[in-house]
A and B are shown apart, each in its own frame.
Chain A
C-alpha cells in the first residue's frame, strides 16, 4: 500500500544500513588480517569479490544519499520537492555505482 518514492527511499536506507552493519565484522576481519595483505589483495582480484566491492560502494552511496535526504527534510524549509530529494538520492547512488564500475 505504501508504494511511493519516499517509502522506497526509506526501505533502501534501512536495508542498506543493515547490510553495511553486517559487512562491518568482515571489514574488521580483513583489516586484522592485513599482515597477509598480498594474499588478501590477490583474493580481491576474483570477479565475485570485485562484484561484491561494487555492491558495497552502491550500498554506501545509497545509504549516504538517503541519509542526506533525511537531513534535508529535517533541517531545510522544504515543502514541494520531496520527490526531488528521493530522485537526488537515487541519482547519487547510480552515479557512484557507475563511477566505481568504470574504475574497476
Chain B
C-alpha cells in the first residue's frame, strides 16, 4: 500500500514538527501510526495510550488540528492527500512530544466541586433513584464522560481564559447538581457561577461537536446557567 506522510510534534512548548513516512494499512488507526513511528522509526517519541478501544481516554491528540481519540480514529477518515499532522492536545501544557500535563484539567474538576457529597454511609440501605425521573435522565445524558480532555482542547473559551473551568468539569458539576442524593448543591452552584464558570461559555458547541462519547457539555452548561439563575432568584446563592 502507499505511504503516509506524517508530521509529528517533537519537543515541549517549544519544538517543531518532524516528518515520518509510515506504511498504509487497511483499517489503520491514528494510534497505529504513532505506535509504528515509536516502535520502528524513532523510539524516543513520547505518547500516551492504554486500552486502545475507546474506554480509557488517554490517547487523545490533535489530528489535523482537531482533537480526537487516536485509537478510534481511522486514518482513512482524517488523512488528507495521504498526510497527517499529529500534535499534543491544545490548551494543556506539553510535557514532551504528544504527552500533555493534564493536572490543570483535573484540578478544574475539583474546583467545580466535581466530587459527590452524600449523607449515607455504607451501613445505610441503597438510595432508590427512579431511573425514569426527569433529573435522573439528565444525569444519564452526561455521566458517560471518561475525562479524555478532547472537549477541553476543542474549547476556544479555555484558550482565551485559562481560568475557565471548561466543558468537562462543568458537565461533571451538572450531573451532580441533578443527583438527588447530593447535598452540596449550593456550594457547587457557587463554584461554577463565577467569571470562569458556566456563564463564560460562548455556545460555540465545539465540545459537543467533538466529544467522542457523543455527550453535550453545552446542554450541561446551559442547565447550570438556569440552575444558578433559579437559585439566585430564590435567594439561595
From 193 to 221 in chain B, residues with beta carbon under 8 angstroms from any chain A beta carbon are 202-206, 208-209, 216, 218-219
Q: Are B141 and A7 in contact (CB under 8 A)?
A: no
Q: Are B154 and A2 in contact (CB under 8 A)?
A: yes
| A4 proximity list for chain B (CB < 8 A) | 205-206, 209
Tell me if B66 counts as interface (CB < 8 A to partner A). yes
Q: Are A10 and B204 in contact (CB under 8 A)?
A: yes
Q: How large is the interface on A (under 10, 10 to 19, 20 to 34, 35 or more residues)?
A: 10 to 19
Number of interface residues of B (CB under 8 A): 20
A1 to B154, CA, bound (A): 8
| B62 proximity list for chain A (CB < 8 A) | 1
From 42 to 86 in chain A, residues with beta carbon under 8 angstroms from any chain B beta carbon are 70, 73-75, 78-79, 82
Closest to A74 in B: B222
Tell me if B65 counts as interface (CB < 8 A to partner A). yes
Partner of A2, one of B203, B204, B218, B222: B204
A1 to B206, CA, bound (A): 9
A2 to B210, CA, bound (A): 9
Interface string of B67-92 (1 = CB under 8 A from A): 00000000000000000000000100
CB-based A-B contact count at 8 angstroms: 45
Q: Which residues of A contact B (CB under 8 A)?
A: 1-2, 4, 6-7, 10, 70, 73-75, 78-79, 82
Q: Are B219 and A10 in contact (CB under 8 A)?
A: no
**Least distance between B220 CB and chain A CB atoms (Å):** 11
Partner of B204, one of A6, A74, A75, A78: A6
Q: Taking each of B65, B205, B209, B226, which has the highest tally of chain A beta carbons within 10 Å of its own beta carbon?
A: B205
Closest to B67 in A: A1
From 163 to 219 in chain B, residues with beta carbon under 8 angstroms from any chain A beta carbon are 202-206, 208-209, 216, 218-219
A79 to B211, CA, bound (A): 14
Q: Are B219 and A78 in contact (CB under 8 A)?
A: yes
| B113 proximity list for chain A (CB < 8 A) | none
Q: Are A79 and B203 in contact (CB under 8 A)?
A: no
| A2 proximity list for chain B (CB < 8 A) | 154, 156, 204, 206, 209
Which 7 A-B pairs have CB atoms at the shortest separation, nearest pair first? A6-B205, A1-B65, A4-B209, A74-B222, A10-B204, A2-B206, A7-B204
- Extra contacts, 13 of them, besides A10-B205, A79-B141 (Cβ < 8 A), are A1-B62, A1-B154, A2-B156, A4-B209, A6-B204, A6-B205, A6-B206, A73-B218, A73-B222, A74-B225, A75-B222, A78-B219, A79-B216
